[in-house]
Structure 1
Amino acid sequence: MTPLGLGIIGCGVISDIYLQNAALFPHLALRAVADLRREAAEAKAQAHGIDALTPEALLARDDIDLVLNLTVPAAHLQVGLAALQAGKHVYSEKPLAVSLADGWKLADMAAERGLRLGCAPDTFLGGSHQTARALVDAGRIGRPVAGTATLMLAGHERWHPNPDFYYQGPGAGPLFDMGPYYITAMVNLLGPVRRVSALASRAHDRRVIATGPRAGQSVDVDAQTHVAGVMEFEGGALIQIATSFDVQAHGHAPLELYGTEGSLRIPDPNRFDGTVELSGEGWQPQATSHHHGDGNYRGLGLADMAGAILQDRPHRASGDLALHVLDVITSLLDSARTGQAVTLATSCTRPEALAPDAPLTRTEEVA
């Protein structure tokens, strides 16, 4: 099959791994990058032997079929709509948008124009998470009834030189930033969410930047920086979720799933690797049964979407999945604000599992 031409808009830090991995995916041909900062686009283009363009010029290129949107979350709507209007399929970094209304705009335009919409995270396609999925599907823990999803840390100002967007404006806070990984991983295991409830707080009104040229400067905080909630899944399981920038240390596993016949410990959903553990006589490590568990494979969801377009099948990291995850995030925050449980406005199809012998890459040699 002739691969799809890929253009990338947004040349920040996250673009490096996507550019590095693009050559792994047989259904993609990287053509060009664009950024509002011309020098950023030129640096990435030179490093990878491709063209540096303005966003407008990239969208006008006839040899670009698919746009990877790596802009900051507040720009996801504007850039995504522009790409769809230009007749391009769109795959975005997480979250899909910073409000459910904006997410619906993207989903509706993609549907109206017969174009594909996809979104990170795609870590649920990694070896460890597909191994966990296979164990759940095989009934190794019985019927899932409960679980936990835990992301708690002290804040990104410790390492990020410009952490403002983590704390200010729409899309800020740990639930928007890291929640998509944890929620998507659980939807992959259990299917869609029916209802949520939550409480939220903010430990500090200002954060001090610890590194880079702005070290010592403070950042105002208007986001809720600790969100604790419960997700009721359509299948009945109750999953506790905690996302925080206010915790110095803790001892919780990233993901645990409890069933009528056993329990699973599941690795960090921000990664593709790690070891799944099944309860028994203590916790028993499980051999990784699927590909893409030995490195950083960001771009798997993009590659799967390109293959799905060429093969005329559904893609896994879909717009419907991302819209549902966005609905979970905004509903948790709405519940914390109102003190009421919130029933989800969306649902989605549980992503199809990957077969153990079906890699999405040309090679498994990834750093």
Structure 2
Amino acid sequence: MGDALRVGIVGIGNISRQYLETLPRLPGVSLVAAADLDPARVVPDVRMLRPRELYAADDVDLVLNLTIPQAHAEVALSAIGAGKHVYGEKPLALSTSEGQEVLSAAAAAGVRVGCAPDTVLGTGTQTARRCLDEGAIGTPVAATAFMVTPGHERWHPDPEFYYRPGGGPLLDMGPYYLTALVTLLGPVRRVTGFASAPRASRVIGSGPRAGTEFPVEVATHVAGVLEHENGAITTLMMSFDVWAADLPRIEVYGTDGSLSVPDPNGFDGEVRRYEPGKEWQPVPASAGYRDAGRGTGVADLAAALATGTEHRASGAVAYHVLDVMESLLAAAELGQARDVASTCPRPAAVTAEQARY
């Protein structure tokens, strides 16, 4: 692959720990610097800079944007303005207008934009994708996707951003499920749905600020129906208001059977297939990056740069997912179906032969 893609991280928060565990073992990637607004946050054995110094650093090729959602577009635009590629945590931005600004700036600068989640590149979603591509359940006609929890304030020491614009169950967890659905079934053309916020405030449940009450500014329960461009219809529920439920993560229903897809917030997990007249059967992992972790999408982008191909966890997919979420919330507010203005290519599959790590 030639020289490694030199990466600088901006934002040393909770999620950075997972990236820091993965990046050292990925091919074609080298972590060279890190930055955070809080000088007390450091990465051992990595050169620490101020954010503006990192953007300007000659030995940084890509900025890994691990800031809170409210800063995603600002950091991405700063990095792009300095001529760097960008790979960011989800969502791409707080709105499609911000997201389009990021993509337009990158196109003008001739740099790439990647965006989480890259969990869909692991063996779980990719094995399910292979089943669908090979016709294992016939023609897909419908799917379901459920993510329910009582809320992140129970475990996160600083959970307020989950309940501000850019947060909520849809924008926080929805990207995992919607990116998986786009990977499996392709882009979405129309949505409808409902949303609510049953509680006006929440209380931090752990850490030094436990007991602190804070306001809820976004919908915390969202239910919707998505019509994919291929005609398949997905029923979706994302909630921070459910204590317990016995629901699948993602299931796809076809003319010749059904497919159970593991948690899209993870990289692996068991895929199961149902054939009429038979019991559910496990499907051996047969595609996707094995032993993947957060940051695999950065390595996929590095490999794509080296070969002149398209990276899979792309800004185009992230923008479409953001558009779907924004359209769903607008449909809930207006009480009517909404067309999704954007589309995107269905990302290329990760075959077992391509998955070198």
TM over 0.5: yes
* 2:329 is equivalent to residue 338 of structure 1: no
Aligned to 2:40: 39
- How far apart are the structure 2 equivalents of 1:191 and 1:61? 38
Deviation at residue 290 of structure 1 after TM alignment:
2.7
Aligned equivalent of 2:286, options 282, 285, 289: 289
Query: Map of 1:217-366 to 2, 5 A cutoff?
Result: 217-280=212-275, 281-294=278-291, 297-361=293-357
3-state SS of paired residue (1:200): strand
Quote how far apart the aligned CAs of 1:289 are: 1.1
Q: CA deviation at 1:25?
A: 1.6
**Corresponding residue for residue 78 of structure 2:** 82
- 1:364 — aligned with what? none
Sequence identity of aligned pairs in percent?
51
Secondary structure, counterpart of 2:280 in structure 1: strand
Write the deviation string for residues 313-353 of structure 1: whole angstroms up to 9, x where unpaired: 11100110000000001000000011111101110000000
Q: Which amino acid aligns with 1:231?
A: L
| Letter in structure 2 aligned against 1:191 | G
Task: Give 1:359 shift.
Answer: 2.3
Tell whether 2:154 aligns with 1:158.
yes
In the alignment, the residues of structure 2 paired with residue 348 and residue 290 of structure 1 have an alpha-carbon distance, to the nearest angstrom, of 22
In the alignment, the residues of structure 1 paired with residue 213 and residue 40 of structure 2 have an alpha-carbon distance, to the nearest angstrom, of 28
Whether the 8 Å CA contact 2:8–2:33 is kept in 1: the answer is yes
1:290 maps to amino acid:
A
Q: Distance in 2 between matches of 1:352 and 1:195?
A: 23
CA 1:171–1:324: 2 relative to 1, 3 Å: same
Pick from 103, 106, 109: which aligns with 1:107?
A: 103
CA RMSD, 1 decimal: 1.0
- Matches of 2:288 and 2:144, distance apart in 1: 25
Return the letter of the residue paired with 1:337: E
SS class of match (1:326): helix
* Residue 291 of structure 1: how far off its partner (Å): 4.8
* Residue 59 in structure 1 maps to residue 55 in structure 2: yes
Deviation, structure 1 residue 301 = 0.9
> How many Å separate the matches in 1 of 2:349 and 2:149?
31
Distance 2:205 2:94 in 1: 27
Deviates more, 1:210-219 or 1:69-78: 210-219
Deviations 1:36-73 (Å, cap 9, x if unpaired)?
A: 11110xx31x2xx2200000111111111111000000
Gaps of 5+ in 1: 362-367
Structure 2 distance, partners of 1:233, 1:100, is 19
Tell me, in whole angstroms, the C-alpha distance in 2 between the residues paired with 1:63 and 1:166.
Answer: 34
CA 1:360/1:122 → structure 2, altered by over 3 Å: closer, same or farther?
Answer: farther
AA matched with 1:71: T
User: Structure 1: how far apart are the matches of 2:101 and 2:59?
Assistant: 26
Distance 2:106 2:68 in 1: 20
Deviation at 1:292, TM superposition (A): 3.5
Q: Tell whether the 8 Å contact from 1:304 to 1:360 is kept in structure 2 after alignment.
A: no
Q: Is 1:180–2:181 an aligned residue pair?
A: no
Give me the whole-angstrom Cα distance separating, in 1, the residues matched to 2:356 and 2:74.
30
2:147·2:237 contact (CA, 8 Å) conserved in 1? yes
Give 1:293 shift.
4.4
1:198 and 1:298 map into 2 onto residues whose CA distance is 31
* TM-score of the aligned structures, taking structure 2 as reference length: 0.97
Q: Secondary structure of the equivalent of 2:40?
A: helix
2:130/2:287 contact within 8 Å kept: no
Name the CA distance, whole Å, in 2 between partners of 1:353 and 1:290.
8
Structure 2 unaligned spans of 5+? none
Does 2:203 align with 1:202?
Answer: no
The CA distance in 2 between the partners of 1:273 and 1:111, in whole Å, is: 33
Tell me the secondary structure at the aligned position of residue 213 of structure 1.
coil
| Secondary structure in 2 matching 1:253 | coil
Q: Give the number of equivalent residue pairs.
A: 354
Give the partner amino acid of 1:117: V
2:289 and 2:350 in contact (8 A); partners too = no
Q: Partners in 1 of 2:221 and 2:341 — Cα distance?
A: 24
CA drift of 1:310 comes to: 1.6
Cα deviation 1:64-114 (Å, max 9, x = unaligned): 111100000000011000000000000000000010100000011111111
Write the distance in 1 (CA, Å) between the matches of 2:290 and 2:303.
20
- Which consecutive aligned stretches of 4+ in structure 1 deviate over 4 angstroms post-superposition? none
